[in-house]
Structure 1
Amino acid sequence: MKILVVDDMPLIRHVLINMLRKLQFDDLVEATDGVQAFALLHQQHFDLLITDLYMPKMDGKVLLKRIRDDEKLASLPVLIVTCEDSCEAVKEIIAAKVSGFIIKPFNLKVLSDHLNLIIADANKK
């Protein structure tokens, strides 16, 4: 499974990538913002996108909308990771057809559980 990890903070990307490696995911690519991520999504095939919600240039919400509006990318599973826990923001993301949503901080089990749900859902399609 090839995963694109998007976060503007190098430390968060590093932690997330290390967690993914512990879960036996090794085909990982990094991006620093939504603009870079969207370009990578058109250059390479990815099985999953994990993105932060708040980033400069293009945030996770806009990135998700652009993915869902793009015929070639619309079915890509997207997991959003964020510190945002307001009910309204969560509702907006769910309405935008996100595949999963994790509130920071989280642990390896939470990440694993969400990935298992996303993979199971993708396998149904």
Structure 2
Amino acid sequence: MQVLDDLVEYQPLTSDKHKTVKGVDTPTADPAGGAYSWRGRGWLRIASSHWEVLGYGDQDGGWMVTYFNKTLFTPAGIDIYARRKGGLSEEMLGWIKDQLRAVKAEDPKFAGLADGVFAIHHNW
């Protein structure tokens, strides 16, 4: 069981400052794999969450979809990650959203989340 250091760096579009969120991801005993418990570091040590990989693929340069439980600071949600600069094509994003809608019908924890997926603005 390998523990992962987790570092997220970002810059809000309305700020010149770069921000970071640090934590530790520990694999859970999920027999299917791909599920982790996250715990913040530093002042975020009070925050924790569970997240899991829902799917991934090599199309469009590579992508991954994760689901995460709510934390003290954020509601539960779904993230779609893309390796390619500029993100995924509209076609690939549409296909992923269709797959999420199909999962929503089978698993109530996705109610409202699959339809709420939106693209974020990148300044790149």
Range into which the TM-score falls when normalised by the shorter chain: 0.3 to 0.5
Higher RCO (Cα < 8 Å, 6 or more apart): 1
Using the size of structure 2 for normalisation, the TM-score is 0.32
